[in-house]
Amino acid sequence: MSNISKDRMRLIIKNPFFATILLKHKLVEKKGHGTVSIDGVSITYDPDFYNDLPQREREAVLCHEALHVSNLHHLRKNGRDHKMWNVACDYAINQFVVDEKGNSILPENCLLDDKYAGMCAERIYSELQKDQKSDNESITPPDQDEEQDDEESPSSSGNNSEDDQDDDNSSKDSPSPIDELYEKCIGEVSDHPNPDGIDESELESETKIMVQQAIQIAKSKGKLPQGLEEAFKELLKPVVDWRSLLSRWIEGFCNTDYSFSHPNPIHLRRKIVLPTMKSDAFANINIAIDTSGSMSDKELQQAVSEVFAGLSVYMENDQEIELKVIYCDSVVQKIDTIQYEGQVTSPKGRGGTLFTPVFECIKDDPPAGLVYVTDGYGYDFPKDPCSEVVWLITDNGDRHFSPPYGDVIHMT
């Protein structure tokens, strides 16, 4: 097994957030590549470059590359200069290449600067452009009178022209400030190859889902690097209070944690309130996601975030679950049966809007409850819903949505 494969496997234990992202990429060995690069599909590496690094630095390079993808750097370049973009991206992410205790694991000469802390790559790129412009303007042109004297001086017509040519050549050969910074990059990010011509918004959605999976897996193991959850808080931010929502579908109790909701009856007789090893057990539900064309990318991402939020409630209770997620536009496009975060996939659809297919799908095995995430721009409702329904209306959804049954919650 190659060093890079071993290092990637080792990170599963040491840092599962980075490992989860890295394992989604295939490894491509390319001699003469000179570095390690990532593009959202592959990790391309030069074995000579990689194997010469100490183990600690090899792992740091891999974590660094994973952060490029988690920050969507492979999708956000938009024609920018390759070297300057990589420098900006490194400044944006290197502060997060840390171990579980928050200590940096990067080489000493890497790109780290406190003045860029908290900035996104685009803003850092803009700052680098300003710095470059200031450097260019600081180079004052020679005085015109001196140029004229030089032209009139016969002694200067020969040797000085050769000296000037040497100066020009040396200035061309000398690296620019960006070139010097680029040399300190410990890896690279390249544009997503996108051989199938997939819409960029779909690529972005798939990447965000992958990042959510990585964060949840790392959190469940107590090994999410410091600062990362805050950096990706928009991805994890649920709008709905799922514990309150699911409370309507409590089907019993589970012995997973102490709870004062069900006081110990033995001590209660003595007027002493002590908890019992009982907590509420939520019934399994189905979640339907409207994937019609009227649902924006932001709304679809919000819907998937809510799925993760719902899952987390079950996981907090240590319940065994089998959550069915149904993606539907005018037809049922896909059904995911998930038991953990890693099984959540990207939405499919973008046709018209019909609600009936979802209810037809669940009628043979109706769940305790159905949560339907939609923008509300649909008007076909089956007569018998066969299950209790809660409609979650997205930010830009129909404010006047009034279905014939079920509760309506607006996610604002």
pLDDT tens digits, 327-372 = 999 999 999 887 765 566 667 777 889 999 999 999 998 888 898 9
Residues 45 and 154 reside in one and the same domain: no
The reply to whether 200 and 167 lie within a common domain is: no
Identify the CATH number of the domain in which residue 310 sits: 3.40.50
Q: What would the mean pLDDT of 167-175 be, rounded to a whole number?
A: 56
Amino acid at 211: V
**Does residue 356 share a domain with residue 243?**
yes
Is 269 within the bounds of a domain?
yes
Q: Give me the mean pLDDT over the 381-402 stretch.
A: 88
- Closest-CA residue to 309 (of 385, 411, 204, 398): 411
List, for residues 72-124, the tens digit of each pLDDT value. 999 988 889 999 999 999 999 888 876 555 666 777 788 888 888 878 889 89
In a domain, 378, yes or no: yes
- Give the pLDDT band of residue 50 (cuts 50, 70, 90): very high
What's the distance, CA 382 to chain centroid?
37
Residues 245 and 261 in one domain: yes
Is residue 49, in this structure, part of any structural domain at all?
yes
DSSP state of 411: -
* Total domains present in the chain: 3
Q: Does residue 349 share a domain with residue 314?
A: yes
Shared domain for 385 and 282, answered yes or no, is: yes
d(CA 310, CA 318): 13
List phi, psi (to 5°) of 332.
Answer: -75, 115
Lowest mean pLDDT, pick from 124-128, 136-140, 170-174: 170-174
Residue 66 lies in a domain: yes
Give the domain-ending residue among 195, 214, 233: 233
* 176 and 188 fall within a common domain: no
Would 356 be classed as within a structural domain? Answer: yes
Which residues, 6+ apart, have CB-to-CB distance to 126 below 8 Å?
Answer: none
The answer on 53 and 176 residing in a single domain is no
- For the four alpha carbons of 303, 304, 305 and 308, in that order, the dihedral sign comes to positive
| 136 belongs to a structural domain | no
Q: Which of 170, 201, 233 is the last residue of a domain?
A: 233
pLDDT of residue 149 exceeding 70, the answer is no
Q: Which 8-state DSSP code applies to residue 154?
A: G
Percent of the chain with pLDDT over 90: 25
Domain interval for residue 364: 237-410
Q: Is the residue at 137 inside a domain?
A: no
Whether 103 and 148 share a structural domain: no
For 225-249, letters b (16+ CB in 10 Å) and e give beebeebbeebbebbbebeebbeeb
Mean pLDDT, residues 295-320 taken together: 70
Q: Are residues 122 and 43 in the same domain?
A: yes
Are the beta carbons of 186 and 65 closer than 8 angstroms? no
Residues 165 and 270 in one domain: no
Q: Is residue 318 part of a domain?
A: yes
Residue 154, pLDDT > 80, answer: no
Q: Is residue 15 located within the same domain as residue 148?
A: no
DSSP-based three-state secondary structure for 237: coil
For the CA atoms of 39, 41, 47, 48, the dihedral, rounded to the nearest 10 degrees, stands at -10
